[in-house]
Chain A
Amino acid sequence: DTAVSQTPKYLVTQMGNDKSIKCEQNLGHDTMYWYKQDSKKFLKIMFSYNNKELIINETVPNRFSPKSPDKAHLNLHINSLELGDSAVYFCASSQGEPGQETQYFGPGTRLLVL
């Protein structure tokens, strides 16, 4: 069984378009995240949600809008895509005491903006 799943796996689109990435976890975790990994492989947090509530918004442009319809899902919508948005986006989930969370990552969505 897949623990954290993301769709789509690959996304190629033109500048200015709007796109969404979906994420689901079946681990029963309370907290979900979006991370961005750039071409230099640096992995950086974008958002975290706990029990559907936004906890962390790491100064991400307003063009990025996460949405958590329930604890098992965290989607990411991106408006007006820019070249610099090209990256791998990882969804993750975690459980446990704040400060001791182990991250369980999805397979990633490889976004290429042309």
Chain B
Amino acid sequence: QKEVEQNSGPLSVPEGAIASLNCTYSDRVSQSFFWYRQYSGKSPELIMSIYSNGDKEDGRFTAQLNKASQYVSLLIRDSQPSDSATYLCAVPGTGGFKTIFGAGTRLFVKA
């Protein structure tokens, strides 16, 4: 059974700082990795996907993947109070048709 581990937090950063969210996964053959954001009382929404080692940037968000270390991270630059949410790391289950989520990291951005 694949596992996805995240620090539950909360992670608190001041406005304008870089927030760094980390995730490790157990299955070496995983090829796809996702970050979802979930605001309180709302449903998760995809913010980043990454498939190759290295960095992938999208606006203020950067996903970093290191398959050798089985580690994926999400950096949020110039953090805003509106970034305060729970961030879920996810990997597909073996064979597809299933996504395994980490427990999520709660992020608070203080104004």
Contacts and interface: CB of A to CB of B under 8 A. Distances in A.
B44 A99 contact: no
Interface of A: 31, 33, 40-45, 48, 50, 55-56, 58, 90, 97-108
Contacts, number: 69
A41 B97 CA distance: 21
Contact of A90 (B32, B43, B90): B43
Interface in B6-53: 31-32, 34, 36, 38, 42-46, 49, 51
B66 to A, nearest CB: 19
Contacts of A43: 44, 88, 101, 104
Interface in B52-106: 86, 88, 90, 92-93, 95-101, 103-104
Contact of B92 (A41, A98, A107): A98
Contact of A102 (B46, B96, B97, B101): B46
A78 B94 CA distance: 27
A100 B44 CA distance: 17
Contacts of A100: 31-32, 49, 51, 92, 96
A62 B4 CA distance: 27
